[in-house]
Amino acid sequence: MKKLALLLFAILVLAIAAVYYLIPGTLVVSETVKINCIAEAAFRNLSDEQSWGKWWPGTADAGVNAATGKFSLGNNRYSLSRKVTNNFEILVESKDGVIPGEMNLFSIPHDSTLVRWRFTLPAGNNPFKRIAAYARAVSLKSDMHTILTRIQTYLSDFKNVYGFSFREASTKDTLLITTKSFSAERPTTDFVYALINKLKNFCSSQNCNITGMPMLNVTSLRPAGFQVMVALPVNRLVQEHDSVSIIKMVPGKFIITDVVGGLHTIAQTYQQLHFYFQDYRRTTMAIPFEYLLTNRQQETDTSKWVTRIYAPVY
């Protein structure tokens, strides 16, 4: 009996020694993933908690606003607590307390980003607490792998990053008649189509043919108002007259994207185009313009408007 007790005691001592040997007093949990997305764009998306729901593998806590919310996965809840360019502090909460972690974004040549996420867990001196800390570290690492895999998939899709897809091409409409006006307020649909109809009437009087859809550019002249320019592609040169000019547009390269929705959606697309040009160091050589593929006077439901944006690019 005494030998058995000594044997059990020896096994216990060895087990405790193994815990101290195999599980350090401080556990570092780290996961790394490469994504096909430029670092500036990745930071812009990941720092916006309202967009987390688009890629999060779990669910947002019920009743918590996504702007300041905590997102759940298994027994853990995650939230942003600090964000500095290409760096985040992420908190993970569970019944065992709160642990701060850090996510870093590193630019990689050829428009990619390395995402490194780390947590540090103090395991303490108590062997049982060390075992519990190790179990939590294993659970946390599994969550981190799942979350980073979803981030990798989501941010590697250009449309998820910028909200639109595009192609680069030229335009066949290079001979245009154009007119412009000024509006103290953002121009209404009727204001725009009054200018379009003016061009149509002018074209009719000149016996030329319209060869494409109306084109529009609205430029803010804050705080004065807005400059509104419209154009129609035509088949031949005409004599300029009565504030109607003719433009020979040089065929160039354009970023082209179709937008479905009203003025707010179009404005959001322009903002994302700005981000794209900024992120990828693209240079614009002239003002963008819109093809009004939908007759906005006939279709009053703005959610059904289709607008093709042409942004000249170098």
Superfamily for 167-312? Regulatory factor, effector binding domain (3.20.80.10)
The pLDDT-based confidence of 124 (bands split at 50, 70, 90) is: low
**In terms of C-beta density within 10 A (0-12 exposed, 13-18 middle, 19 or more buried), how is residue 97 classed?**
exposed
Assign residue 199 a region: left if phi > 0, alpha if psi is -120 to 50, beta otherwise? alpha
Most confidently modeled of 54-63, 135-144, 152-161?
152-161
Q: What are phi and psi of 100, to 5 degrees?
A: -85, 140
Q: Which two tokens stand for residue 178?
A: 């154009």
Residue 19 is predicted with a pLDDT of 46
Tell me which residue of 271, 191, 274, 174 sits closest to 230, measured CA to CA: 191
Residue 227 is predicted with a pLDDT of 95
The pLDDT-based confidence of 4 (bands split at 50, 70, 90) is: low
Residue 28 is predicted with a pLDDT of 86
The upper half-sphere exposure of residue 125, i.e. CA atoms within 13 Å in the direction of its Cβ, equals 0
Domains in the chain: boundaries: 24-162, 167-312
Fold of the domain built from segment(s) 24-162: Alpha-D-Glucose-1,6-Bisphosphate; Chain A, domain 4 (3.30.530)
Tens-digit pLDDT profile for residues 89-104: 999 998 888 899 999 9
Tell me 235's DSSP state. S
Tens-digit pLDDT profile for residues 108-120: 988 899 999 999 8
- Whether residue 116 contacts residue 106, with contact meaning beta carbons closer than 8 Å, is answered with yes
pTM above 0.75, yes or no: yes
Residue 123 is predicted with a pLDDT of 67
Alpha-carbon span 142 to 153, nearest angstrom: 17
The pLDDT-based confidence of 62 (bands split at 50, 70, 90) is: very low
Tens-digit pLDDT profile for residues 251-293: 789 999 999 999 999 999 999 999 999 999 888 878 899 999 9
- Whether residue 101 contacts residue 117, with contact meaning beta carbons closer than 8 Å, is answered with yes
b/e 120-134 (16+ beta carbons within 10 angstroms → b):
ebebeeebeebeebb
Tens-digit pLDDT profile for residues 10-58: 454 444 444 444 556 688 899 999 999 999 999 999 998 888 889 999 7
The edge-to-edge listing of strands for the beta sheet with 59-60 is 26-35, 112-122, 97-108, 87-94, 76-84, 71-73, 59-60
Using the predicted structure, report yes or no on whether residue 138 has a pLDDT greater than 90: no
